[in-house]
Amino acid sequence: MTYETESAPLFDALAAAAEDQIVYDLPGIEARYDTLRRELPGVAVRFAMKACPVDEVLGRLALRGSGVDAASPDEVTQALRAGVPVERMHYGNTVKSDRNIADVFRLGIRDFATDSLEDVTALAEHAPGARVFCRLATTGEGALWGLSNKYGCSPADAVDVLTTARDNGLVPAGLSVHVGSQQMTADAWRGAFDRIADVLTALAERGMSLDHVNLGGGLPALGYRDKHGRPLDPPMDKIFAVIREGMERLREIEGHRLGFVVEPGRYLIADHGAIRAHVARLSARSQANGERQYWLYLSCGKFNGLYEMDQLQYRLVFPSHRGAESVPAVVAGPTCDSDDAYSHENGLVPVPKALASGDPVWVLSCGAYATSYMTQGFNGFRPLPYTWIDGGAHAS
């Protein structure tokens, strides 16, 4: 089945759009959520809302049974407004001020991520009696974005953190990991389960019993191309099999009665969001070697919808020029920032040679982080508005 067939309602909405905008396919997001629940039965889903802080998406996932992984008081407030029950939220950010802790505790949050003794001390003061889960560091190997430096602690530190939490009146509830965003290997999950197992065993020896393991994010989107234009093909069947096997292994460790949580972001959203953009200009300039280099400038780029273009080539559709003669071009956004472009190294994309300013362009699989990373108008280029489709109907 082709992407066009799978995404017919989304393509219809893009074709109907007269102005630049982001379009989210709510039924497509629901279908991906249902797939996740089938692959990981019994696992609670807490959507990483930073990937798509859109009320309509949050509300639809909440109706499906999802909660959210929130990282700030404003995210908690938005999720509540969108209809997410507070008992299905946790505060997944290990970086938080005293005021952040007090604010979200007042809003009803009772589950907090942590990775340091200093944070535990602050939680004990400003969120007394709260449940804490300690984030373990991972290598991030195999992911497009490793996320291995800012968050997480060693297994030995995790034991100390949860012991200190218990001694300060908090509830040592769980462990968490994040194997890196857009994780492309199953081995990363195996390594994470090894680390979790070691800590669970050490905690049991200290008489501590945990009730959950948070497997974090990292599940990959399916429709990306790498920065050289090659389709990424994550081994989803293998990844899910390794996760299921890992959960069974952890359940066998004595001293704990574990439930499991997962925090998908881009896996749910990326392939079910697209941008209707337009051509600003297709131009050619001579290079030092005398060859002509084509540049395709779009109306959107790194600062208004395509922030991750340094690691990805988003798929492009030119609806007015299907089957036309193409030329290799560097794809770039509209600003005068040189980083506002696809990776220059082997980053050429075939584009129709006859493109003219104003021609529509559809940017696919860009639903994740398209809204959340946009600036407030860098270089005067405004953030894109968004709309959504619901069962074939168009809403805005």
Picking from 144, 100, 147, 137, the residue whose alpha carbon sits closest to that of residue 116 is: 137
Q: In angstroms, rounded to a whole number, what is the distance separating the alpha carbons of residues 5 and 208?
A: 52
Cβ–Cβ < 8 Å for 371, 300: no
Q: Contact at 8 Å (CB) between 296 and 331?
A: yes
- The string of DSSP codes covering 341-378 is BS-STT--EEEETT--TT-EEEEES--TTTTTT--S-G
H or E segment to which residue 22 belongs:
strand 21-25
Distance of alpha carbon 233 from alpha carbon 237, whole angstroms: 11
DSSP-derived secondary structure for 335-350: SS-TTSBS-STT--EE
Burial of 285 (0-12, 13-18, 19+ CB in 10 A): exposed
Cβ-contact 370, 333 below 8 angstroms:
no
Residues acting as catalytic residues: 336
